[in-house]
Chain A
Amino acid sequence: MKYILMMNTMKASAGAFGSWPKEDIQAHIAFMMGFNKQLTASGELVSAEGLAFPDQAKLVRAGKDGAPVTDGVFPEAKEFLAGYWIVDVESPERAYQIAAQASAAPGKSGVPLNMPIEVRQVMSGPPKEFT
């Protein structure tokens, strides 16, 4: 069964990431790369992507003529999707375990960030029991 693990960061902390000492940034990046490697080695990684900073995001709606109308950033939102993993695992408990590992990624001075990771099942094709 496949799950998406969505890493949400507070808008304030996403900005603060750039102000960490170099070693802390490097340690964080090394953790993330090692984490992806570990998930490949365990035969569970489907995909993983990091997203651009929220201040680069645009909100798009269709205008009356169907053409895109873009807005700047969304000042009211506090949390942003920073990146995600999709994993293929044997049980939901295993997905939670992986999420907890990601949540504990090292932050400033190596202190675990304990970020909230939203875990949701990825929907599959037709069920066998159906017919």
Chain B
Amino acid sequence: MTTSGFDLRELAPQVIGVVLRRFRDFAAAEDAVQEALVAAAMQWPREALPENPRAWLIQVASRRMVDYQRSESARRRRENAAARERDLVVPAASVENESGQDDTLILLFMSCHPALAPASAIALTLRAVGGLTTAEIASAFLVPEATMAQRISRAKKTIKASGLPFRLPAGKQRAERLSLVLHVLYLIFNEGYTSSAGPNLRRSDLSAEAIRLTRAVHHLLPDHTEVAGLLALLLLTDARRAARTGPGGELIPLPKQDRTLWDQGEISEGLALLTATLPKGPVGPYQLQAAIAAVHDEAARTEDTDWPQILALYDLLNQMSDNPMVKLNHAVAAGMVHGPATGLNLLDALAADGRLADNHRLDAVRAHLLELAGNHPAAISHYQCAARRTASLPERNYLMTQAARLKT
């Protein structure tokens, strides 16, 4: 939401923080600020930008809160349920962390609450921290506004019920909660990245929003290496956006992409960030994934790709986590370095472990390696099997085309 070049969304978390401290009700404060933002988006372009936009928003939102509390207390008097109120109120704010910047972080921690399903955490983060309207979020996820409004309202009820205090989590909990925050930001990016151009164009704004929010977190926690790693990963991945789909929305795999379409600005920013971060240590999964993306981005032609380097990075990533998708990509890299037979052996081990049993990616990778090995009949059958299992329409088209290409 911008009004005459002024980005309202930057102010959203700060304003919620102030209103929340004053009124101590997260769900209502978040609603009130949302109304103030909508009012500003309508009013400011028509009239002049207020002298102090932040104060304007706080004043309007506070007025809404007073109205709301008046009608609420009248309702409560009727119901005579004052005792219940204590359970529904967010505990008092701590006196430390009173700056607007910390509010962004605290709101992120709240919105990415461990009790929320990913879809709910994503929606709430986009509204409370991103300052997007419910209508904008609903349109990005292709659901009706009423449905999205309910999703957000339920998420806030869950947070209220958890009694989470409005302050930064401390100690070990803080690290765990931050990794949840980073995961939600990563998921928001994916939501945007997985949409093709055309009718879903607005969805791709989600990637830009994820980058903006991750940048804000990096700004607040400049020494956190995984935050920097995630930002680098998002930039280095987003750089390839224009090249990954053709004019008809068809998928173009990495080896076939027109690399002149890659965004060199994003690539150099991601590389600089990664170069500055890696020596700081400790090296975590986001930094490693960013490093892998960087190796791809640095190859001017597909055949210049430094596969031994990518394999070494996947080895590290594999040691760090027991993730079947990492093992799958590791098998691809091993196949590129040591030949398809090595990759296929690794896939057999992965298939035996069972966690990817129904996943189309296992078949797709097997088909690719079988094709490299020259076994076309088997490759065709695995491409077809993967095509039946994927839930992505462009990917199904791609896989069916791959199978048909080998038949002729």
Residues of A participating in the B interface, judged by any CB pair closer than 8 Å? 1, 39-47, 88, 90, 121, 123-131
B257 to chain A, nearest CB (A): 7
Q: How far does the Cβ of B295 sit from chain A's closest Cβ, in whole Å?
A: 14
B394 adjacent to A126 (CB under 8 Å): yes
Q: Is B205 an interface residue (CB 8 A)?
A: no
B200 at the interface (CB under 8 A from A): yes
B259: min CB distance to chain A, Å = 12
Chain A contacts for B146, CB-based, 8 A: 40, 45
Extra 4 A-B pairs, beta carbons < 8 Å, given A44-B147, A125-B196 = A43-B151, A46-B143, A123-B391, A131-B240
A130 touches B154 (CB 8 A): no
In whole Å, how far is A29's beta carbon from the nearest beta carbon of chain B?
A: 20
On whether the beta carbons of A88 and B147 are closer than 8 Å, the reply is yes
B304 to chain A, nearest CB (A): 17
Q: How far is the CB of A64 from chain B (nearest CB, A)?
A: 29
What residues of B have a CB within 8 angstroms of the CB of A46 in the complex? 142-144, 147
- Interface pair B144/A47, CB less than 8 Å apart: yes
Tell me whether B305 is interfacial, beta carbon within 8 Å. no
Q: Is B361 an interface residue (CB 8 A)?
A: yes
Residues of B bordering A, CB below 8 Å: 117-120, 141-144, 146-148, 150-152, 154, 190, 193-196, 200, 203, 240, 244-245, 251-254, 257, 325, 361, 390-396
Q: For B251, what are the chain A residues with a Cβ–Cβ distance below 8 Å? A: 126, 130-131
* Residues on the B chain within 8 Å of A43, using CB: 119-120, 147-148, 150-152, 154
Kindly state the separation between the CA atoms of A1 and B245 in the bound complex, as whole angstroms.
Answer: 22
Task: Contact check, A45 vs B393: say whether CB atoms are below 8 A apart.
Answer: no
- Min CB–CB distance B122 → chain A (angstroms): 12
A45-B144 contact in complex given A126-B395, A130-B251, C-beta closer than 8 Å: yes
Q: Are A131 and B150 in contact, CB atoms less than 8 angstroms apart?
A: no
Contact at B151–A124, with CB atoms within 8 Å?
no
The answer for the CA separation of A113 and B176 in the assembled complex, in Å, is 48
Please tell me which one of the listed residues A40, A44, A47, A130 contacts residue B244 in the complex, with CB atoms under 8 A apart.
Answer: A130
Cβ B195 vs Cβ A125 within 8 A? yes
Give the distance to chain B from A83, nearest Cβ to Cβ, in Å: 17
Residues of B within 8 A of A88 (CB): 119, 141, 143, 147
From B120, B190, B392, residue with most partner A Cβ within 10 Å: B392
Bound together, the chains give a CA A94 to CA B383 distance in angstroms of: 29
Q: Is the CB of B392 within 8 A of A127?
A: yes
Query: Are A124 and B392 closer than 8 Å at their CB atoms?
Result: yes
Asked if A42 meets B150 with Cβ closer than 8 Å, knowing A90-B117, A125-B194, the reply is: yes
